[in-house]
Amino acid sequence: MQLKLNNEGWVYFVISCLITIIIIPFYTILGIFLCILSIYIFYFFRDPIRSIPNEDVVVSPADGLVTFIGESKSPLDNSMDKNNYTKISIFLSIFDVHVNRMPIDASIISINYIPGKFLNATLDKSSNKNERNIIYAKKNEDYFYIVQIAGLIARRIVCNLKNNQEVTKGDRIGIIKFGSRVDLYLPKNFNILITKGQRVIGGETIISNPKNIQNINSAILK
């Protein structure tokens, strides 16, 4: 697997390496600790190359553990959108890749940043209590949401999208720093191919096959 460092991680990595180089000749134990910290920073901000399925399917927006699948309303408070959705929650531990990806080809309708708390991201109430960034998008006549949610440790959500931007499935859309959660809201008529408790890979694991495309490579359904 090819690895590179996400742009958001370079500042942390360079500063950590410089401090390590300065400290280690004088304080060996502390220097070793800082060296390990530098390695972890690189590991946390890693941005691996992913094999994006060519078929017209929905892929996972993040790496992590599926903690919830169920019916939900729009995540936007006071929204005019009264449709029902299937909400899929993915918890990202501090050891998961934190780069978020677009789950489907779409046009961005709006991006809504909402300040909030920093509760444990495994709790379902973090969906509407925590600091979050709600991305509202459309493909043809289907609408869906991607919600980047800060966690207990996370203190910054980065979103690289803009209103009216056309994005492609698998595109990098941002990153949540240090432990977090991503909620994906799909139309109710989309079939769901994953289960609660399953681990998913951003940009690769197929979450839904709305057009029931046959002969999808089973190796991708992981």
Residues 159 and 196 in one domain: yes
- Structure-token pair, residue 102: 């677009």
Q: Is residue 1 part of a domain?
A: no
Residues 177 and 78 in one domain: yes
Residues 62 and 133 in one domain: yes
Q: Is residue 51 part of a domain?
A: no
CA distance 144 to 187: 7
Show the domain range for 32: 7-44
pLDDT score recorded for residue 4: 81
At 86, which CATH number? 2.70.70
Q: Is residue 18 part of a domain?
A: yes
Q: Is residue 49 part of a domain?
A: no
User: For the segment 154-178, what is each residue's pLDDT rounded down to a tens digit?
Assistant: 567 888 899 999 999 999 999 887 6
**Amino acid identity, position 35:** C
Residues 178 and 109 in one domain: yes
**Within the chain, which residues score under 50 in pLDDT?**
218-221
pLDDT score recorded for residue 7: 79
CA distances from 205 to 35, 66, 194, 221 (A): 33, 12, 9, 5
**What are the φ/ψ torsions at residue 101 (nearest 5 degrees)?**
-130, 155
Domain count, the chain: 2
Residues 88 and 125 in one domain: yes
CA distance 163 to 116: 22
Catalytic residues: 180
Residues 39 and 66 in one domain: no
CA diameter of the chain: 63
CA distances from 107 to 42, 62, 84, 164, 176 (A): 32, 19, 20, 6, 22
Q: Which of 37, 47, 168, 28 is nearest to 98 (CA)?
A: 47
Residues 94 and 158 in one domain: yes
Helix ranges (H only) for 46-134 are 126-129
pLDDT score recorded for residue 122: 54
Residues 111 and 216 in one domain: yes
